[in-house]
Amino acid sequence: SSEVLEAIENVIQGVVQSLAQKKPPVLTVANRADWRNIEFKDSVGLQMIPGCTTKQIRSDCPQSARRFALTLKILSTIYKMVQSNTYATKRDIYYSDTLLFGSQSVVDQIINDISCMLKIPRRSLHVLSTTKGFVAGNLSYTEEDGTKVNCTCSATAVTVPSNVQGIKNLTSHAKFILIIEKDATFQRLLDDDFFSKVSPCIMITGRGIPDLNTRLLVRKLWDSFQIPIFTLMDADPHGVEIMCVYKYGSVSMSFEAHHLTVPSIKWLGLLPSDLKRLNICKDALIPFTKQDENKLASIQKRPYIACQPLWKKELEIMAASKLKAEIQVLTTVSADYLSRVYLPNKLQFGGWL
């Protein structure tokens, strides 16, 4: 915490010095949205390069003066929380003055900018994300406040903890981890008692694009157990994008890649090639939108696809057919085909990429 306080004090000192010299204060932050600031490493995923381009948040410029003021306001909130050892979610910070901040996304972006500017992970700033992910299966752990959580005996899923770094005593006999894109599929597998029927496993869903806590938990489970991690996604560009976030990280959070990515994650399904192999009826597939075409084209150009020839092939199949499928399409074969046949066969015979 002293490191965090010192980093914030240095920023404020810079502001005060500028004012003393009658110069308008300026904050310099890394340009997080620029692919030119990103390098791809097999072992880490997408990470920010050391000498990346920056942007200035100026106090004397009408376009950025408001941003400058809000950044100082949030820095002051963080400083007080670290000093008093209290925590708040991003939503708490937004609701402390909704009129001032204007929207939740403004608060989210500024907090990420601050984390990147100070080179300090967000949880060390005492800012917690609101969690939306679920976990179930063969896993138990103790939360920071001493609460014991057992995901194994629960017929319902457990919410991913809001302070993943604080959990300890993780125990599991799981043979693998299954990341599931959507809540509906996750619930279906939970109802089918999938995690105990096939072999003990841990199931996780970020319910779409994963929040920070879900990604931190996947990484923590990988560090703790070093067991295979598979993904079950829709066979569409959006599903591939979500899988890449878990595996290689995202451009906007590349400054934290070391804590968030698991490059050993495997693509279990739903593969575009599975659709032909299983004779899925064309009427059950969904035609691409222009947005899908653009998304797929952008994914195909990314640096990590070049080192994944089998993934490249699958994306080419998708691009050629211009058709996409949700995991639910497997119910057209039979109602419980996913949990009874598809997943057990894939896991038994190595049907992943």
* pLDDT tens for each residue of 99-127: 889 999 999 889 988 888 888 887 789 88
Residue 227 has pLDDT above 70, yes or no: yes
Q: Is 129 helix (H, G, I), strand (E, B) or coil?
A: coil
Of 51-55, 119-123, 174-178, which one has max mean pLDDT?
174-178
Q: Which helix (H) or strand (E) holds 28?
A: strand 26-30
Whole-prediction pTM value?
0.82
Per-residue model confidence (pLDDT) at position 154:
60
The answer to whether 212 and 248 are in contact (CB under 8 A) is: no
One fold for 2-128 and 134-349: no
Domain 134-349: CATH architecture, name and number where available: 3-Layer(aba) Sandwich (3.40)
Mean pLDDT of the chain: 88
For 266, what's the count of Cα atoms within 13 Å in the CB-facing half-sphere?
A: 14
Q: What integer pLDDT is reported at residue 312 of this predicted model?
A: 92
Report domain extents, the chain: 2-128, 134-349
Nearest Cα neighbor of 121 from 227, 256, 321, 16 is 256
For residue 56, the cross-strand partners are: 28
Q: For the chain, give the percent of residues with pLDDT over 70.
A: 99
Q: What is the DSSP letter of 55?
A: E
pLDDT in tens, 308-343: 899 999 999 999 999 999 998 888 888 888 888 899
The listed CATH number (1.10.1040.10, 3.90.1150.10, 1.10.10.10, 3.40.50.720) that belongs to domain 2-128 = 1.10.10.10
- Provide the annotated active-site residues: 95
